[in-house]
Each structure stands twice: as C-alpha cells, then as structure tokens.
Amino acid sequence: MNNIETKLGKLQFQNPITVASGTFGYEYSDYVDFNKLGAIVTKTITKHPKIGNKPPRLFETSGGLLNSIGLQNPGLENFIKDELPKYRGFSTNLIISFSGSSISEFKEILLRLEDEEGIDGYEINVSCPNVENEGLAFGVDAKIVNKLTGELSKLTTRELTIKLSPNVTDIKEIAKAAEDGGADSLSLINTLLGMAIDWKTGKIYFKRGLAGYSGPVIKPVALNLVYQVAKTVNIPIMAMGGISNWMDALEFIYAGASVVAIGTQNFVNPKITIETINNLQNFLEEKKLTIKNLIGKANMEEK
Amino acid sequence: MQKILPINYIEKINKDYFIIYIKNKELALKSKPGQFFELLPMGNYKGLLRKPISIYNIENDTIGFMIKKIGYGTKYLSQLKVGDFIDFLGPLGNSFNIPMNQKVMLISGGIGYAPLFYLSKELKNKHNSVIWIHGGRSEKDIFDSNIMNYTNDGSYGKKGFVTSNLEKILEVEKIEKVFTCGPQIMMKEISKITQKKEINTEVSLESYMACGIGVCKGCSVLIKKNNENVYKTVCKDGPIFNSKEVVWDE
Ligand SMILES: Cc1cc2nc3c(=O)[nH]c(=O)nc-3n(C[C@H](O)[C@H](O)[C@H](O)COP(=O)(O)OP(=O)(O)OC[C@H]3O[C@@H](n4cnc5c(N)ncnc54)[C@H](O)[C@@H]3O)c2cc1C
Ligand SMILES: Cc1cc2nc3c(=O)[nH]c(=O)nc-3n(C[C@H](O)[C@H](O)[C@H](O)COP(=O)(O)O)c2cc1C
Ligand code: FES
C-alpha cells in the first residue's frame, strides 16, 4: 500500500484521492466506503445558515457544468450538531471547509471548530465577498489573503489549507501571500466564472448572471494553474478542476499536486473516487512507481 | 443503487416518444410510483450529467422508461438499440402516497403521463376508482384512447386544456384526491382549483439535476414549511410534493 501514500502538510494520506468541497456529502456513503478515501472535504459552511440562490442553479455545457448554488448550507452550529457527528466516525482525514464575510468572522468560525473533536484540517474558502473590502472576494487581494492566513494560522495546529480562486490576475501572487501568511497547504482551483445566455431569446439563464464553471472542460486551465503555483511555493498542493479519472489524477500529480480532489465527476459516477483509487493503485504497482516520486515531475524528456 | 444494464426491449410510440425496457428484479422490487432513475448512456455519449427519468411501468422484473425527445441526451437515448448498456442510478426520490378505496383523479400534460401510468396501476390495486385526464399539444402527445384526452389544437379528443372543465368534473365525480404531473403552469392552475375545493393534491415537480441524491443542492425548489419558505431538493425531498407546500411564483 506504500506506493500510493502521500502527505498534505501535516496530514498523512493513505492515498491521494479526496473530494472537492460542495460536490460530496454523506449521501455518498451508500456508494463509497469513506474510510477508503484519502480525506473527506465537506461543503463550505458559513456562520449563519444560507438558503442559497434562486433557481435555476445548474446548466450543462459541452463537457462542463455551470452552477449557482449560492453556498446553501445549514450554518456553523447546525453543521456541528447534525452533520459533524456523522463524519467523525471515519478513519480517514476530515477537512472542514468554511467561509466568512470578514476576517473576524473567519476567526470566530475556526475557534468554534477548534472545540470540536475529530477534525483534521480546515479548507478556507476565500471566494466569498468581503464586507470590509467593498464586497470583493477575499481571494482576489494578496494583502488580505496574507493577513487572513496569518491570523488563522496562529489559532490552530490543524492543517490549514487556503483554497484559491482562479478568477484573479495572478494566482501565483495570491499563493505566495498565503504561504507567507503561514498556510500549511493550498488547494486549487475553485470554479471559474461563466455564464449562459439563450441564443433564441437573449435571456440570461442565471438570476445572478454569472455562475461557477466546473467539470472536464476546465481541466487544462486547472492543470496550468497548479503547475504554475507548484513552481512558486514550497507548500504542498491539493489539486482539483475537471478530474474525472485516475489518468487525470496522475497528470495533476505530475504538475505538482500532492493530493487530488474529485468534484463534478462525483455527480456523474458516485463511485468514481473508489474506482480512481483502485485504478491508480494498479497502475503504480504494475509500473513499480510511487506517488511521492511523481509529484511535480512533469518533464519535457523524449520517451 | 447503481447498475449498468442492457436494454431489453424498445417500444417506439411515435417520432417524439419511445419506451426503454430493462430487466432487473432488485431494482423492480425497490421501485415505487413517482420515483425516478438517473440514466447515463454508456459508449460514445458526449453529455456530462445523467438524465433524470421517471419510472413509467413495472411488470414483474421489467422496468419501463417512457421518454420524450427534447435535446442531445434524450435524442441519444432514442438512438440506442436492444443490448446497448445504460448506467442506472436509482430508484431515487420519494413516491406518491397511495390511498385506498377512494375516488382519485390523475391529470397529466405531455410527458407528465409517464409517472402517472405506474401510479394508476398501483391505485387500482388498492381499490381506488381512477379517472384520468390527459392533455397534449396535438394527437402525437396522446397515448391512451381510453382516458379523457384534450389537445390544444383539437387534433384528438376535446379541444382545450386539462383545466378547461376541471372544476365541474371534480364536483360531479366527487374526487377525493388528485395526482398531477406536467408543465409547471398546468400544475399551478390545477393546484389553485383543487385548493379552492380542498382536495388533497400531489404534484410531481421537475428541476435541473446533477447528483440526484441530495448533495449538490442544484435542484432546489421553494417549499412552504410552517409558514416559512425553504429550499427543498426535488431529487431527495421530492419529486412528489403536496400542492399546498409548493411556492409556484418564484
Ligand atoms: C424527476 C424528473 C423526472 C423526469 N421524468 C421524465 C420522463 O419520465 N420522461 C422524459 O422524457 N423526461 C423526463 N424528465 C425530463 C428529462 O430529464 C429532460 O427532458 C432531459 O433531461 C432533457 O435532456 P436533453 O439532453 O434531452 O435536453 P437538453 O437540451 O439538455 O435540455 C432541455 C431541457 O431539459 C431539462 N434538462 C436538461 N438537463 C437536465 C438535467 N440534467 N436534469 C433535469 N432536467 C434537465 C432542462 O429544462 C432543459 O432546458 C424528468 C425530469 C425530472 C427532473
Ligand atoms: C455544485 C457545486 C458546488 C460547489 N460548492 C463549493 C463549496 O461549497 N465550496 C468550495 O470551496 N467549492 C465549491 N465548489 C467548487 C469545487 O469544490 C471545485 O473546486 C470545482 O468544482 C472544480 O473541480 P471539478 O471540476 O472537479 O468540479 C462547488 C462546485 C460545484 C460544481
Ligand atoms: S440534483 Fe443534486 S441535490 Fe438534487
């Protein structure tokens, strides 16, 4: 089993396959043995419950998915009461994703979660609007990401992962800011921005206009960003963006990811995580390779 | 459950509608009227998401799916042949509440006919007397000459809408419960009428879906619960809702 083990910062992973926040939930336990995953990453929670955006919330494009869920979630306290107990029992890593509307709110949520057992790490979703900065997303401003990471890293010894948005001018700058702030690892990419318009009527499909774009079609974009960031920082990366099978997973590992997360593809094939782990394991055994030796080994050699 | 199964039989109704039959004892036993499956064709399929399709009929081990050709996914399904494989996720969602010994009415519009067919059989098994009103655009949207049919263009049955004479029929026939599936606007009109008459009504809602099991929250619709509007998932909390709970104007 050794050849498939990996690490993300402080956390030991039995294999590099985990799930992208918001695309996985307890319902998948009917299809997947959670103990077999490298980690479980839960849906982003906020301090207060969020009812989410007005429908329609989904739209399929060729090879991609647009979503406008609006972070529908039960809120911190309901999560702790109703959902956390269900996830605690699994032997794998549990990473809780959360977001806030100000730095103090992020701190408050983290401190509340520190009281709870069974949590191995936090994934900080910085794609939310910052009320202290004209509602601009936290993730677009390197200074703020640096400050946020600095404040949060002081408060916990658990794994602290900053999830980067691709919707920025220079993701490397944001990545560096998070590293300098004390992040243990980075996770990328969150959804791209997209929209849909009906050519017959000109009608804008989503009530908010824009939506998050994910799925196989964004893989080349994600691969490039992971590659760029991996060259810039020294902390490990959890990669996501269009990963649909074990071969995609390997590509991201070559690009520099220590761990990879499957998102949209869970909706297509609820057993995709387990199938990916098994196929990856078989491949590594057959080729006598180990994950650790492949991370960041993308190359230009003729073979 | 997730199972990859071959098509056992295909019935072509007309150029727009067809029925795919599969055989699987386990799935057939679990399936209840109103539930659905998420279908993913195997092979060269270029779509990303699965397609939610209601259970049209169950007979012994055989499950039928009646499908209308709309876009890429349903057209792809229409071109499959016997022996081709489809990946099935389901049965999913809740199901209709089936009464006993009542006078019930089914009201369908277009492909809304599909889930009501299996329901009608189970209703009859529970000794209910069933009246079925169906509406379509034209003759090719009509599937059974033995029920009450309306077409918008008058090419078959009565010209008009399923709601045209509804109040009167509900009264004369002393209907105690209504089940409906069809276009949103049709179900909304029906709900208004049955609410006025205080007739218990169950509606089968549609929504764009991804996961189909309650995870992504992509299929949420606004539902009234204790005087508060909350989002519920069509895939897991539904697709069947009591008409009184549905917030139609959103
Ligand atoms: C619970 C439920 C049960 C259904 N039962 C049946 C049935 O028994 N028979 C039948 O013919 N149709 C049924 N439908 C509708 C069917 O799922 C859509 O017609 C089909 O998904 C259209 O896909 P397409 O690729 O052919 O068309 P597209 O061109 O992709 O889409 C056409 C329209 O179909 C709807 N649609 C597209 N993708 C999805 C999706 N992933 N989820 C939900 N809706 C979508 C949207 O309104 C869209 O505008 C059901 C839908 C739901 C939600
Ligand atoms: C329906 C849906 C909901 C999502 N919700 C969240 C979320 O709550 N928090 C978050 O950080 N990312 C969320 N994401 C983004 C994913 O975690 C992931 O970063 C992105 O989808 C790219 O990966 P993929 O192409 O494999 O889906 C969501 C994505 C989808 C499709
Ligand atoms: S389709 Fe994902 S929650 Fe209903």
Domains parsed from chain B with CATH numbers: 2-92 (2.40.30.10), 103-245 (3.40.50.80)
8 Å CB contact of A69 and B217: yes
Burial B125-153 (b: 16+ CB within 10 A, else e): eeebebbbbbbbeeeebbbeeebbbbbee
Interface of A with B in 64-123 (CB under 8 A): 64-65, 67, 69, 72
In angstroms, the CA B75 to CA B18 distance is 10
Burial B72-92 (b: 16+ CB within 10 A, else e): ebbebbbebeeeeebbbbbbb
The whole model's pTM is what? 0.96
Cross-chain CB nearest to A270 (options B89, B209, B218)? B89
Nearest C-alpha neighbor of B203 from the set B192, B212, B191: B191
* Residue A108: burial class (beta carbons within 10 Å; 0-12, 13-18, 19+): middle
Pocket test for ligand 3, best of B36, B37, B39, B211 (most atoms within 8 A of CB): B211
pLDDT digits (tens, 9 = 90+) for B15-40: 999 999 999 999 999 999 999 999 99
Q: Which fold has domain A6-287?
A: TIM Barrel (3.20.20)
Active site residue A39: no
A173 CB-near residues (< 8 Å, 6+ apart)? A142
CA distances from B118 to A107, A114, B62 (A): 54, 52, 12
For A57, half-sphere exposure in the C-beta direction (CA atoms, 13 angstrom radius) is 25
Interface of B with A in 169-208 (CB under 8 A): 207-208
* Residue A287 host element (H or E): helix A272-287
- The stretches in chain A having pLDDT less than 50 are 1
Nearest C-alpha neighbor of B133 from the set B173, B100, B184, B101: B173
* Residue A275 host element (H or E): helix A272-287
- Using the structure block, give the residue that is written with the tokens 């007397």: B129
Q: Is B89 on the interface with A (CB under 8 A)?
A: yes
pLDDT at position B244, please? 95
The residue extents of the domains of chain A are: 6-287
Contact B2, B37 (CB under 8 A): no
In angstroms, the CA B237 to CA B241 distance is 8
Pocket test for ligand 3, best of B208, B233, B237, B241 (most atoms within 8 A of CB): B233
CA distances from A138 to A4, A99, A144 (A): 35, 10, 6
In angstroms, the CA A25 to CA A28 distance is 6
Strand partners, A11: A8
- Ligand 1 atom closest to the CA of B77, numbered from 1: 26
pLDDT at position A135, please? 67
Q: Are strands A237-239 and A259-262 parallel, antiparallel or unpaired?
A: parallel
Q: Is B228 on the interface with A (CB under 8 A)?
A: no
Q: Is B221 on the interface with A (CB under 8 A)?
A: yes
Q: Could you give the strand order of the β-sheet that contains A259-262, starting from the edge strand earlier in sequence? A: A17-19, A259-262, A237-239, A185-188, A159-163, A121-125, A93-98, A39-41
In angstroms, the CA A135 to CA A128 distance is 8
Spacing, Cα B23 to ligand 1 middle (Å): 23
Which chain B positions have a beta carbon within 8 Å of A42's beta carbon?
Answer: none
The verdict on the CB of residue B77 being under 6 Å from ligand 1 is: no
Spacing, Cα A205 to ligand 3 middle (Å): 18
Q: Is B2 on the interface with A (CB under 8 A)?
A: yes
- Ligand 2 atom closest to the CA of A215, numbered from 1: 25
In angstroms, the CA A211 to CA A223 distance is 21
The pLDDT profile of chain B, 250 residues, written as one tens digit per residue, is 999 999 999 999 999 999 999 999 999 999 999 999 999 999 999 999 999 999 999 999 999 999 999 999 999 999 999 999 999 999 999 999 999 999 999 999 999 999 999 999 999 999 999 999 999 999 999 999 999 999 999 999 999 999 989 999 999 999 999 999 999 999 999 999 999 999 999 999 999 999 999 999 999 999 999 889 999 999 999 999 999 999 997 6
In angstroms, the CA B132 to CA B145 distance is 11
Which chain B positions have a beta carbon within 8 Å of A82's beta carbon?
Answer: none
Catalytic annotation, pick one of A37, A96, A109, A128: A128
Which chain B residue's Cα is nearest to A67? B218
In angstroms, the CA B137 to CA B113 distance is 13
- Give the ipTM of the model, two decimals please: 0.95
In angstroms, the CA A227 to CA A188 distance is 11
B250 CB-near residues (< 8 Å, 6+ apart)? A54, A55, B221, B222
* Residue A223: burial class (beta carbons within 10 Å; 0-12, 13-18, 19+): buried
Nearest C-alpha neighbor of A158 from the set A118, A103, A131: A118
pLDDT digits (tens, 9 = 90+) for A217-253: 999 999 999 999 999 999 999 999 999 999 999 999 9
In angstroms, the CA A4 to CA A292 distance is 8
Interface of B with A in 27-46 (CB under 8 A): 40, 46
Pocket test for ligand 3, best of B48, B231, B235 (most atoms within 8 A of CB): B235
Count interface pairs A-B at CB distance under 8 A: 85
Q: Which residues line ligand 2 (CB under 6 A)?
A: A 20-23, 43-44, 65, 67, 69, 71, 97, 125, 163, 190-191, 212, 214-215, 218, 240-243, 262-264; B 216, 218
